[in-house]
Amino acid sequence: MSKSVSVTIQSEKLPDGVVLAPSGEIDLSRSPSMRAQVAEVMKTAPKRLVIDLSGVPYMDSSGVATLVEALQSTRKCGAKLLLCALTPRVRSILEISRLDTVFTIVADRAAASSD
């Protein structure tokens, strides 16, 4: 099997949850690492999960699948998922996939921490 490359994800605590800020291109070689790190954070039962995508210039469908999984697992726990600071290519892939209206997308971290 292809080796999975680990994604650097910075995290920041919020009063009611956590912000994750992955950096780099999220493709099939990197999405498994991102998926694992999101699953890890979900174990802490956050009420709010913010994914700051400002450091992600590119994402393919495996990255999008990771975001959809995050959406499903937050919904299951009654938590809230917010995506913020999308770069143009990431916004484009969500639009083409008709997911731009399914996710709650806000401008930046400040908006995501307080709505």
Partner 1 sequence: MSHSPDLSIQMLSRTSLLAPVRCMLVSFAERIGFDETASGHIALAVDEALANVIRHGYSGRDDCRVWLHFWELHEPAGLRIVVEDYARQVDPELIRGRDLSDIRPGGLGVHLIRSTMDSVRFEKRREGGMRLTLEKLLGAAPVQSAA
How open is the CA angle 78-81-86, to the nearest 5 degrees? 170
Stretch that binds partner 1, among 7-15, 36-44, 93-101, 107-115 (CB under 8 A): 93-101
> Count residues contacting partner 1 (CB under 8 A)?
30
Q: Is 69 in the site for partner 1 (CB under 8 A)?
A: yes
Measured distance CA(23)–CA(9) in Å, rounded:
6
Instruction: Choose between 74 and 113: whose C-beta lies nearer to partner 1.
Output: 74
User: Which alpha helices (DSSP H) does 15-114 contain, by range?
Assistant: 31-42, 61-76, 88-96, 109-114
Q: Is 10 in the site for partner 1 (CB under 8 A)?
A: no
Residue 11 tokens read as 């995290």
Bridge partner list, 80: 48
Q: Is 11 in the site for partner 1 (CB under 8 A)?
A: no
Q: Which amino acid is at 70?
A: A
Binding site for partner 1 (CB under 8 A): 1-5, 25, 27-29, 58, 60-62, 64-66, 68-69, 71-72, 88-89, 92-93, 95-99, 102
